[in-house]
């Protein structure tokens, strides 16, 4: 008789709500594997044959990926066709390298990495970005060579729902899970505001992060239950836990269905104060998820995904087409497009010549754009052109000083003048707003409000920089406190500065979607929330159940308190949670 495997429980960071059960699929990165180089000469042809089988596996997988994404009419499907063609191009060189007497894995590492490094050095930014595709192909081949499923999500479809268990996922790996049979995701790394976490939330897959060593504990195929709302991971759940998992899953689904039915109701308090709910998006396709939940437009379009999803930076015309299609999908709703926010947690298309000691404090975001003016200007050209076609607002990330705002606007004016000279239709003066995500910007919000058309508070970074807590590091996640009195003062100051200058202020950080903070934010004066679409219904439900007077009183009470613990305890006591939150 088989001895039953013991049930194991872990707690992590609740990132994306809901309950999911499935068989574990361990997703491993192989880019840092150092393969043994030497190969005895007699094994050469066998090794070449192994390589050819791996290439075939990788090709099959790319074809499956392409097929499933093409069904979604997703532009990113095209990239996988290009990857398959590149695989074929590499095959002769890889085979001849093996015949020189090295292992297949070593050949892949040396040949592919050398090719990627060569292309990365090319001056043309559009071409140099292709190095990421080559690295991707190398990883895929190595996974195939090591006998793993070359692409975890593709394998999922045949064997029923799977739970992806990984050390980490890149945002582009996460996006490939769209429409797959993935019941849940558990990661060892990452906090709840990492870019990967943001993507997983938008895919509405239950997810827990920060579960250290899990990939060493779980074996492939084991049953796992994830409660993404509570941050719980149960390996080999017993009968009682399985029952609870199913019951919870059904409860979440019923709640979501009821909340969705309320999408047509106005977002207003009992005493009639209107709030604007917008959505955060990464792809044009995401617009529909927001509209279905009653979003009035897009408050944050993260354009870095133009690069991350397609393996290269699209040119001006391609960007224009993407922005235009997003605008059209919105049918008159506002579209707030953020200029490139590359660096730190968002993979950059042009890697720095030397690794930076502190990327989050380095050449990221607008600083990157100032250093790489060609892609920045190209994006601005596309933005000014699409701005002539509807309610398009341009948002600058990571503004730390008025000089940066002025410099960005000056570049925009030059771009507008060029378009004018060429007779290209464009809007020279679209609204230009800034993200408040550096404490310096929050503290000087009154000065910035004189020259910005709107503010959007990015709490993911604002908390990171205010509290010196890396948003990517699960070890310091408990210190990432939206309820910290310092943050409350920064929020209050920013909102008051915007009100005084009569410019709109919204919040697009993840804090806006955490319902225990909704009343507080409303009480602080926030009237616009830009949210991951899945969180819109619960924020609306909460707003519709309260009055402005109680929100103001609660905010005033919070502002008098001296610790994050006290503030959080007060909010938890006063706010009835709505599902995961
Ligand atoms: C933020 O920092 O809060 C934000 C919305 O931007 P991102 O998460 O893309 O850095
Ligand atoms: Mg940010």
Ligand 1 pocket, residue 508 CB under 6 Å: yes
Ligand 1 pocket, residue 302 CB under 6 Å: yes
Ligand 1 pocket, residue 47 CB under 6 Å: no
pLDDT confidence of 149, banded at 50, 70, 90?
A: very low
* Mean per-residue pLDDT of the chain: 88
Residue 307 has pLDDT above 90, yes or no: no
Answer yes or no: is 226 within a domain: yes
pLDDT at 2: 43
Q: Indicate the Cα dihedral angle 135, 137, 138, 144, nearest 10°.
A: 150
Same domain, 183 and 320: no
Of 110, 127, 145, which one is at a domain's C-terminal end? Answer: 145
Least confident of 5-19, 436-450, 551-565: 5-19
Spacing, Cα 256 to ligand 2 middle (Å): 28
Spacing, Cα 460 to ligand 1 middle (Å): 5
Ligand 1 pocket, residue 201 CB under 6 Å: no
Q: Residue 528 sits in a domain of what CATH number? A: 3.20.20.60
> 34 - beta bridge partners?
none
Same domain, 24 and 58: no
Of 96, 123, 145, which one is at a domain's C-terminal end? Answer: 145
| Nearest CA owner, ligand 1 atom 4 | 458
Answer yes or no: is 173 within a domain: yes
| Nearest CA owner, ligand 1 atom 7 | 460
Cα–Cα distance measured from residue 392 to residue 427, given in angstroms and rounded to the nearest whole number = 10
pLDDT confidence of 5, banded at 50, 70, 90?
A: low
Answer yes or no: is 253 within a domain: no
To test the ligand 1 pocket, which listed residue (197, 435, 487) has its Cβ within 8 A of the most ligand atoms?
A: 435
Pick the most confident of 56-60, 169-173, 263-267, 343-347: 263-267
Instruction: Go through 388-416 and write b for each residue having 16 or more CB atoms within 10 A of its CB, e for each that does not.
Output: ebbebbbbbbbbbebebbeebbebbeebb
Answer yes or no: is 410 within a domain: yes
Ligand 1 pocket, residue 506 CB under 6 Å: no
Provide the residue range defining the domain that includes 50: 41-145
Spacing, Cα 242 to ligand 2 middle (Å): 38
Q: Which ligand 1 atom is the nearest neighbour of the CA of 460? A: 3
Spacing, Cα 340 to ligand 1 middle (Å): 12
Answer yes or no: is 494 within a domain: yes
pLDDT confidence of 121, banded at 50, 70, 90?
A: low
Spacing, Cα 345 to ligand 1 middle (Å): 10
Instruction: Identify which of 231, 216, 308 has the alpha carbon closest to the alpha carbon of residue 9.
Output: 231
Cα–Cα distance measured from residue 538 to residue 191, given in angstroms and rounded to the nearest whole number = 22
Ligand having the closest approach to the CA of 281: 1
Calculate mean pLDDT across residues 535-545: 96
Same domain, 141 and 160: no
pLDDT at 125: 59
Ligand 1 pocket, residue 282 CB under 6 Å: no
Q: How far is CA 12 from the centre of its chain?
A: 19
**Which residue is it, tokens 């050095």?**
121
Active site residues: 195, 508
pLDDT confidence of 579, banded at 50, 70, 90?
A: low
Same domain, 365 and 513: yes
Cα–Cα distances in Å, from 44 out to 99, 103, 537, 555? 6, 8, 60, 71
pLDDT at 76: 58
- 124 backbone dihedrals φ, ψ, rounded to 5°: -65, 115
Least confident of 95-104, 389-398, 430-439, 554-563: 95-104
Ligand 1 pocket, residue 461 CB under 6 Å: yes
Residue 309 has pLDDT above 50, yes or no: no
Q: Which ligand 1 atom is the nearest neighbour of the CA of 345? A: 10
pLDDT at 83: 79
Contact 490, 466 (CB under 8 A): yes
Answer yes or no: is 527 within a domain: yes
Spacing, Cα 190 to ligand 1 middle (Å): 15
Residue 580 has pLDDT above 50, yes or no: no
Residue 465 has pLDDT above 90, yes or no: yes
Residue 27 has pLDDT above 80, yes or no: yes
pLDDT confidence of 297, banded at 50, 70, 90?
A: very high
Cα–Cα distance measured from residue 255 to residue 249, given in angstroms and rounded to the nearest whole number = 10
Ligand 1 pocket, residue 375 CB under 6 Å: no
Spacing, Cα 529 to ligand 1 middle (Å): 13
Same domain, 47 and 25: no
Answer yes or no: is 3 within a domain: no
| Nearest CA owner, ligand 1 atom 8 | 460
Of 81, 116, 145, which one is at a domain's C-terminal end? Answer: 145
Same domain, 94 and 108: yes
DSSP state of 361: G
Spacing, Cα 1 to ligand 1 middle (Å): 53
Same domain, 219 and 268: no
Ligand 1 pocket, residue 191 CB under 6 Å: no
Helices of type H across 268-356: 286-292, 304-310, 316-330
To test the ligand 1 pocket, which listed residue (190, 433, 461) has its Cβ within 8 A of the most ligand atoms?
A: 461
Spacing, Cα 194 to ligand 2 middle (Å): 10
Q: What is the reported pTM?
A: 0.79
Q: Residue 50 sits in a domain of what CATH number? A: 1.10.274.10
The alpha carbon dihedral of 107, 108, 111, 113 has a sign of: negative
pLDDT, tens only, 52-66:
888 888 888 777 767
Instruction: Identify which of 427, 425, 428, 447 has the alpha carbon closest to the alpha carbon of residue 436.
Output: 447
Residue 202 has pLDDT above 80, yes or no: yes
To test the ligand 1 pocket, which listed residue (196, 301, 339, 341) has its Cβ within 8 A of the most ligand atoms?
A: 341
Same domain, 126 and 190: no
Same domain, 317 and 225: no
Q: Which ligand 1 atom is the nearest neighbour of the CA of 397? A: 6
Q: Which residues contact 383 (CB under 8 A, 6 or more apart)?
A: 323, 337, 339, 392, 394, 430
pLDDT at 109: 76
Q: Residue 169 sits in a domain of what CATH number? A: 3.50.30.10
Same domain, 331 and 218: no
pLDDT at 321: 96
pLDDT at 163: 94
Q: Which ligand 1 atom is the nearest neighbour of the CA of 300? A: 5
Ligand 1 pocket, residue 341 CB under 6 Å: yes
pLDDT, tens only, 319-334:
999 999 999 999 999 9
Residue 75 has pLDDT above 70, yes or no: no
Ligand 1 pocket, residue 437 CB under 6 Å: yes
Percent of the chain with pLDDT over 90: 62
Cα–Cα distance measured from residue 296 to residue 314, given in angstroms and rounded to the nearest whole number = 28
Answer yes or no: is 543 within a domain: yes
Same domain, 288 and 375: yes
pLDDT, tens only, 475-521:
999 999 999 999 999 999 999 999 999 999 999 999 999 999 999 99
Q: Which ligand 1 atom is the nearest neighbour of the CA of 304? A: 9
Ligand having the closest approach to the CA of 302: 1
Ligand 1 pocket, residue 460 CB under 6 Å: yes
Residue 116 has pLDDT above 90, yes or no: no
pLDDT at 157: 44
Same domain, 139 and 155: no
pLDDT, tens only, 366-412:
999 999 999 999 999 999 999 999 999 999 999 999 999 999 999 99
pLDDT at 33: 37
Ligand 1 pocket, residue 513 CB under 6 Å: no
Q: How many domains does the chain have?
A: 3
Spacing, Cα 459 to ligand 1 middle (Å): 7
pLDDT at 153: 46
Residue 42 has pLDDT above 70, yes or no: no
To test the ligand 1 pocket, which listed residue (194, 365, 508) has its Cβ within 8 A of the most ligand atoms?
A: 508
């Amino acid at each position: 008789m088989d001895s039953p495997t013991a049930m194991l429980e872990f707690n992590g960071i609740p990132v994306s709500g809901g309950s999911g059960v499935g068989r574990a699929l361990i997703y491993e990165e192989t880019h840092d594997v150092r393969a043994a180089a030497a190969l005895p000469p007699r094994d050469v042809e066998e090794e070449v044959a192994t390589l050819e089988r791996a290439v075939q596996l990788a090709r099959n997988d790319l074809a499956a990926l392409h097929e499933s994404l093409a069904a979604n009419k997703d532009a990113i499907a095209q990239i996988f066709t290009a990857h398959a063609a590149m695989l074929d191009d590499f095959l002769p060189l890889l085979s001849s390298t093996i015949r020189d007497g090295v292992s297949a894995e070593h050949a892949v590492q040396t040949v592919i990495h050398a090719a990627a490094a060569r292309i990365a050095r090319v001056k043309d930014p559009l071409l140099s970005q292709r190095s990421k595709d080559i690295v991707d192909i190398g990883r895929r081949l190595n996974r195939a060579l090591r006998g793993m499923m070359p692409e975890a999500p593709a394998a999922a479809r045949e064997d029923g729902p799977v739970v992806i268990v990984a050390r980490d996922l890149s945002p582009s790996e996460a996006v490939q899970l769209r429409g797959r049979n993935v019941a849940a995701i558990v990661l060892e790394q990452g906090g709840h505001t990492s870019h990967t976490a943001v993507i997983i939330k938008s895919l509405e897959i239950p997810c827990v992060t920060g579960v250290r060593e899990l990939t060493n504990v779980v074996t492939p195929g084991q049953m796992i239950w994830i409660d993404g709302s509570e941050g719980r991971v149960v390996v080999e759940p017993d009968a009682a836990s399985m029952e609870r998992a199913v019951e919870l899953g059904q409860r979440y689904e019923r709640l979501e269905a009821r909340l969705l039915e309320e999408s047509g109701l106005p977002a207003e308090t009992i005493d009639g104060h209107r709030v604007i709910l917008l959505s955060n998006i990464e792809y044009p396709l995401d617009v529909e998820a927001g509209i279905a939940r009653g979003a009035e437009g897009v408050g944050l379009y993260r354009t870095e995904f133009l690069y991350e999803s397609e393996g290269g930076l699209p040119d001006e015309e391609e960007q224009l087409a993407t922005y235009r299609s997003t605008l059209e999908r919105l049918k008159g709703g506002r579209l707030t497009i953020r200029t490139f926010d590359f660096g730190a947690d968002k993979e950059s298309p042009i890697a720095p010549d030397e690794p930076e000691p502190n990327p989050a404090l380095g050449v990221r975001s607008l600083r990157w754009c100032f250093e790489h003016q060609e892609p920045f200007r190209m994006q601005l050209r596309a933005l000014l052109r699409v701005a002539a076609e509807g309610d398009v607002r341009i948002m600058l990330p990571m503004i730390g000083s008025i000089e940066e705002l002025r410099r960005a606007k000056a570049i925009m004016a030059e771009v507008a003048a060029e378009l004018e000279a060429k007779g290209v239709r464009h809007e020279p003066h679209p609204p230009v707003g800034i993200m408040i995500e550096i404490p310096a910007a929050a503290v000087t919000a009154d000065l910035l409000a004189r020259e910005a058309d709107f503010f959007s508070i990015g709490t993911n970074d604002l908390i990171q920089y205010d509290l010196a807590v890396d948003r990517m590091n699960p070890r310091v996640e408990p210190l990432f406190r939206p309820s910290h009195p310092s943050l409350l003062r920064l929020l209050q100051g920013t909102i008051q500065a915007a009100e005084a200058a009569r410019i709109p202020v919204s919040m697009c950080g993840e804090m806006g979607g955490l319902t225990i903070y909704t009343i507080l934010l409303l009480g602080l004066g926030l009237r616009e929330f830009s949210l991951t679409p899945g969180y819109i219904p619960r924020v609306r439900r909460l707003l519709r159940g309260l009055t402005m007077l109680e929100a103001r009183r609660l905010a005033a009470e919070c502002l008098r308190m001296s610790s994050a613990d006290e503030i959080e305890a007060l909010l938890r006591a006063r706010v009835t949670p709505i599902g995961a939150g």
